[in-house]
Amino acid sequence: MPYNNTQRYLLLSDCSRALLAFCVLARFAILFPLIGTRFLPAGIADFFLTVYLTSVLVDGFEYVTIFRKVPKKGVSRTSGWRVLGSIGARALVTVLILNYPKSAKNISFSVLISSSMLVDCSRHLYNFYKVRTFGGSVWWLTSLRRILFGLLSPVLAASEAAMIFICLRLMETEYGYYREYIDYDVWADRAAVLVKGVLFAYAPVFYITYKNKMTAFWRLKTDKTKKTN
């Protein structure tokens, strides 16, 4: 059965993002043992942050142009609020790290790289296989996705919150990288209030999202078991 244009696009999108996430992981696996956390940002930060943010931006584009128009009972799909929350969280983390590059020397940055790219790589591989087989799946790939998401999503959220907290401390003590373009005397206090608000809301929002996602995984597994029996 031939693929339509939407399926071709999704195959290319998921394959590309899975490959990019794997490349980040491979680069991280080579650099981390050699140079450690202190000098790691110089060799991987720009590449990682580009893949890290672009991945969820593409998710937003696909939701608006494709999945938003699909009936909720047609296929399982994520909510628009979850996509928007992911974009907002990653955009904030990316902007803060770029403005305060010293924060990337913390071990939390290394944890952020490994956890986010493992989750993204497994997710895109799963989606690629599902589109390629017209909705099919294999147990090991499905199990890998569930295990990595279940174990690493809390780690990912904790590392993002840690990076936000580190940047917040730096925000109170020094000017950022873009000090030539931003009047920190005017915007520093306002930005600090915004970042504090995001940091306080991070845990409850993540808990709700994580709980709903794990519930959806369990329901999917239960439904498949019932159909098999």
| Predicted local confidence at residue 18, as pLDDT | 97
Q: How far apart are CA 53 and CA 148, in angstroms?
A: 20
Residue ranges per domain, the chain? 5-228
228 falls in which pLDDT band (50, 70, 90)?
A: very low
Task: Kindly indicate the confidence band of residue 115, based on its pLDDT and cuts at 50, 70 and 90.
Answer: very high
Q: What is the pLDDT of residue 176?
A: 57
pTM of the model: 0.85
Per-residue pLDDT of 9-22, as tens digits, reads 999 999 999 999 99
